[in-house]
Structure 1
Amino acid sequence: TTQPPLDDESVYRIFNKLMLEGKVRAAVRFVTERGGGGVLHPSAQAEKRPPGVTLLDVLREKHPPQQQPCEEAFLPCDSLPPLIDVDITESTAERTIRSLSGSAGPTGGD
């Protein structure tokens, strides 16, 4: 059975509860109705586009070719901050990876 859509007050309460619990990702997904989804194939037909336009075509439209920036685009800099040596061990990486949620986790899937 399909549930009726929530009113604005209910959406606000659920969003607020998730945020207060520190579940930022879940709150954003809830309010943007992105609970489903998955990996899309680049050659798949793009929604709301004429037939034959693929997702890869849409992405290429949104991302122009790389360019060399002009020198004026950079702020002048007389000195650089000191470089801090960081030692990341295998155990540090594993501990961090296990704490991630979503497709960035150790299995590459939710």
Structure 2
Amino acid sequence: MPQRFGRPGLLGTVARTAAVSATATAVSNRVNRRMGEREMRHQMDAQAQQQAWMDQGAAQAAAPPAPPAPPAAPAVPAARDRVSQLSALADLKAQGLLSDEEFATEKARILSS
């Protein structure tokens, strides 16, 4: 049989088409399988996270209530606090940051509280 040169014949075209089709099918199947595996991992992660939340909620429900907080430290006596506020106010007035009216207003507010 004489050998042809140039474009492939019918049999060569069919063979090339079959090879291309088989390659495309293999690639498509692999892509679909990897996407399915990835989706399965995402679902498993979501289920594990949901289970952890449920376990945490059950543990909190079963745990006894937290003990009450210890009482706060006794407050600084009001007289000492007022003195420090008045002292700071006098310093501001001495620096010239407060006018006489502002000083008198703030002094009255501190002494009335």
State the TM-score, normalized to the length of structure 2: 0.17
Higher relative contact order by CA 8 Å / sep ≥ 6: 1 or 2?
2
TM-score normalized with structure 1 length: 0.18
Structure showing greater radius of gyration is 2
Higher helix share: 2
